[in-house]
Structure 1
């Protein structure tokens, strides 16, 4: 079953140019909402330990601004401008909360405030490279636009419902109310929403992992986290996922197609296209990024991460603790860890909407302890790895939203690539605002004792160290089933990574909501298909499309309602 609602593109007038992110009105709205997003992210991550997805908030505010018939504000009625604004506000939220504040809190809590500024410089580099790599490789075989990216669907459906109204708006609105009310009663309704949007097999394993994490301590009297079971499963699944990704980079058929296309002189328009591109209209089966660009993007990312690691090492004085060979090893480990961290977090977010950044960072922390890395270099390594991943996933969500909104453009491909570029620029504006907010606010926040809880966990783990080889042995043991599940599930399902994500997230009741939503999704689809099958095969296919659209709206509404509740929690923190 498709992971993206295959809505036939609505005919639109021929597009000439996508709205620009740096247009005066759009830029002013973007900056103001980015400040709001950064403040929300900073406050909530340092008090409640959460970083809410504010893209829906940004889309709603942009819609309201567009209803103001004053001067140029009416331009904000354009869904594509609203997409630019929601991209920026979500980017500023996750950048401030996850990519910047959390890393710099590690040296501060370790009693080394002098390392905060070098760590902030490294975190900015990690954030910049994180978003650049996703921009380069989004809609490739590794990270296809047709995959779930659930928060992106929620943002797109919110914008479309506000633009079109009617039944779609009502269904989305009712679902959002259900999601919001459920969240008020501490139910993880976003998990149910994701189950209506993502790959069924991947989400089935996600739900199983959530249930095992919830009931294993009581039923089996086993503390999974204390025995490093989730971490081991993620290590095994992650290693296999990386091998699968490397195999994608060696796709010889794609290379032959590209060479044949060059010889024939019939290259597709736009950058990063592959041989599958034909015509001017949207085709869900086509990729805008070929294997060559995917390979180049990942190699560029690795090189830039290594440069960033070298700069952190020089600014943070790693050489004085480790010497020449130790410095080289630290730089290599930090660069590779940053790349692996972003890919694992990105793959998990792409399928499930959840990214286990904390747990994956903890894996590298434990690896550093096993290798005997001194305390300060280890803290910088952990902070650098933690700066990558969340922004990578968030940019993917926003690009997914834009991809859905731009389906009806004619000609589609150049408009899609131009829109994606403008979204990236809007994200950079949001990141710049987040950096400025963090530079101003980190010291008074930290001095007031308001630090991200996960950073405290990292520091406590660094100080405690490893007293025996229990952690290493358990992670090695449980890496085996994680690797096997990921291998047999294949790269398109990411079953091992999603099982580990469920084990690591361990949100109470989320597993039941995921499985119930999956059952409802399958039952509704079969009902609609069978009801129409008596008429004709074409009617059955159309019924399946309509069922997928309805389910996407329900899922998007649940995710949007849950996000609204997360943002509303700021009243508890101020």
Structure 2
């Protein structure tokens, strides 16, 4: 799954660099805009009616592939895997931007009865979305967020594109996996969870599966609703704090030298750029908080010290939210954006922040994270599709830049769609359910003992994260599983891990040579990755198909 190292093909470096297709080529751009409108509409319809935002990347890839098969002039250009990658990046970005990063934040002041704050909040959400994507563009493929990470939806998109181009055995395995994923999802089974179990770090996914299973059975076995008791939130606080310390340690360099990676794991982003990217993001998030404070009238409601504290908390909440959501998404394919935002809401209640400033803080925090995670999925897909380019490094960096530009187009389309449609949706009572939960929590306040419970459960969360280390994110994934709490998802993940281990051992049978065993393990991983990608793709198709119910 690793790209060729530039050093692995010295003869190829003398050849003229291959150019990646541009995001602004006429056919690509037109298709990008049209599908981004579709993605944005799908996103806002489903987030307001069903409370979910589907990954539309596979839909974008399939449409681009079909258009590439039309025997008409320039449309044939869409047969390029890299152009299909640009289109799927844009439509998935548009979907998550419209639903999670723009509509949900502005629904918070609306649900609070402050329609006058919708436009200021939209401005703040746009800043949050823009900084969110910029930071990921700067730090993707670092030691913190490596391209070799799971990013399950990215693998599904890449394998779908490759299967459509090459066919053969891989297409058959992927297609069978997608069919199983779709059928299972139609029967309300979380087949995407099984798909994730075939794709990521075993230890991280084991903790994710344990968290999912514990959340499902705790009400019957322990007679306790862990989510209602804020146990997962406490564990996420502890795990998140340790994860942030681990991230800071990854930003260091030793003696000014770049860290040494294992063969095939060369990073395109080293520690200095990771450090600059996160610091730039922190500064930009603070600037965005200043804009929200003055545009939303927070400056007039708070004293100067309180205003400074609000701005600092908003900036920290934004970057912490994006990092935790991104790490969870990289390993599990799920991002606990709602629950992590709720943590900062609770912190705001503990700090006795007034109602309106707290609502704006929550909206601003909610605008970060999902787009960050989605762009990681898309970069992963592009990284897989570009790994055989020669010379690899310049083509990879050019392709990543073009993907980022394509997503910016998708974000722009999402902004226009939300700006035009929000009043119609909200007037009809179609408000994202999570926004109503935020407002209800703001109005009702904290139950006695909530803070104590969270602090107590922060200790085991921190301990698990510390023992697992930054590469496994075990504490964050355990807390994510407890927060997601999707029925039967735990069994899907744990079952997939068991099948994964058994299949690997079955392929090893009778092999004693070490090199042959490693080759067998690699082939087993490739087969299971195709199955996992198919399951995720099939589940995503079902999610998009929910549009008919919403309408």
- TM tier, smaller: over 0.9
Q: How do 1:29-40 residues align onto structure 2 when only pairs under 5 Å count?
A: 29-40=31-42
Q: Distance in 1 between matches of 2:141 and 2:542?
A: 31
Answer whether contact 1:238 1:344 (CA < 8 A) is retained.
yes
Structure 2 residue 509 is the aligned partner of structure 1 residue 537: no
Question: 2:549: which partner in 1?
Answer: 572
Alignment match, 2:388:
408
Check if 1:245 corresponds to 2:250: no
Secondary structure (helix, strand or coil) at the match of 1:256 reads coil
Matches within 5 A, 1:368-407: 368-407=348-387
The residue number in structure 2 matching 1:162 is: 164
1:260 aligns with: none
1:276 to partner: Cα distance: 6.4
Q: What does the per-residue CA deviation read over 1:424-449, in whole Å, with 9 as the maximum and x for residues that have no partner? A: 00000000000000000000000000
- Give the match for residue 523 of structure 1: 502
Distance in 2, Cα, partners of 1:130 & 1:336: 13
Question: What CA distance in whole angstroms lies between the structure 2 residues aligned with 1:495 and 1:145?
Answer: 19
Residue in 2 that maps onto 1:268 = none
Pairs within 5 Å for 1:251-270: 251-253=253-255, 255-257=256-258
Counterparts of 2:335 and 2:45, CA distance in 1: 20
Q: In structure 1, what is the Cα distance between the partners aligned to 2:40 and 2:220?
A: 39
For 2:532 and 2:260, the matched residues in 1 are separated by: 34
- From 420, 423, 426, the counterpart of 1:443: 423
What are the ranges of 5 or more consecutive residues in structure 2 without an aligned counterpart? none
Query: Equivalents in 1 of 2:79, 2:521: separation in Å?
Result: 31
Q: Could you tell me how far apart the structure 2 residues matched to 1:529 and 1:486 are? A: 32
* SS state at 1:355 partner: coil
Is there any run of 5+ residues in structure 1 with no aligned partner, and where?
A: 258-273, 278-282
Q: Distance in 2 between matches of 1:227 and 1:572?
A: 33
Asked whether the equivalents of residues 6 and 548 of structure 1 are also in contact (C-alpha less than 8 Å), the reply is no
The match for 2:20 is 18
- 1:264-283 alignment runs, 5 A limit: none
Instruction: Answer yes or no: is 1:486 the counterpart of 2:487.
Output: no
Report the more deviating stretch, 69-78 or 321-330: 321-330
Structure 1 distance, partners of 2:348, 2:367, is: 17
**Whole-angstrom distance in 2 between the partners of 1:376 and 1:247:** 36
Look up the match of 1:474. 453
The residue number in structure 2 matching 1:125 is 127
Which deviations, in whole Å up to 9, do the C-alpha atoms of 1:162-189 show, x marking residues without a partner? 1110010011001000000000010000
* Secondary structure of 1:18's aligned partner: coil
Aligned residue in 2 for 1:425? 405
Secondary structure of 2:430's match?
Answer: coil
How far has the Cα of 1:545 moved from its partner?
A: 1.6
TM-score calculated relative to the size of structure 2:
0.97
Aligned to 1:201: 203
Residue in 1 aligned with 2:232?
230
2:499 counterpart of 1:497:
no
Q: How does 1:99-118 map to 2 (within 5 A)?
A: 99-118=101-120
Paired residue for 2:291? 311
- Output the CA distance in 1 between the equivalents of 2:514 and 2:160: 32
> CA contact under 8 A between 1:15 and 1:409: conserved in structure 2?
no
What is the match of residue 320 of structure 1?
Answer: 300
Deviation digits for residues 211-231 of structure 1 (CA, Å, limit 9, x no counterpart): 100001110111212211000
CA contact (8 A) 2:4 2:392 kept: no
Aligned to 1:267: none
Q: CA RMSD in A?
A: 1.6
Tell me which residue corresponds to 1:172.
Answer: 174
d(CA) in 1 for partners of 2:261 and 2:202? Answer: 26
**Structure 1 residue 331 corresponds to structure 2 residue 311:** yes
Aligned length: 545
Alignment partner of 1:342 is 2:344: no
Distance of 2:125 and 2:32 partners within structure 1: 23
TM-score, scaled relative to structure 1:
0.93
Whole-angstrom CA distance in 1 between matches of 2:514 and 2:221 = 48
Alignment check: 8 A CA contact 1:6 1:545 kept: no
**Alignment of 1:508 onto 2:487:** yes
Instruction: Provide, for residues 518-540 of structure 1, a one-character-per-residue CA deviation record: whole Å limited to 9, x for no partner.
Output: 00001111211234x14x43332
The question of whether the paired residues in 1 share the 8 Å contact of 2:252 and 2:272 is answered with no
8 A Cα contact 2:64 2:87, kept in partner: yes
Q: Structure 1 residues 15 and 218 mapped into 2: Cα distance closer, same or farther (>3 Å)?
A: same
Contact 1:14 1:409 in 2 (8 A): no
Aligned match of 1:143: 145
In 2, the alpha carbon distance for the partners of 1:8 and 1:306 equals 39
- Once the 2 structures are TM-superposed, how far is the Cα of residue 14 of structure 1 from its aligned partner? 7.0
Distance in structure 2 (CA, Å) of the matches to 1:38 and 1:141:
32
Whole-angstrom CA distance in 2 between matches of 1:21 and 1:573: 32
Inter-CA distance 243–572: structure 2 relative to 1 (3 Å threshold)? same
Secondary structure of the corresponding residue to residue 72 of structure 2: coil
Match of 1:213 among 179, 191, 215: 215
Cα offset, 1:467, TM superposition: 4.6
Aligned partners of 1:525 and 1:57: how far apart in 2? Answer: 32
Between the aligned partners of 2:87 and 2:176, the Cα distance in structure 1 is 24
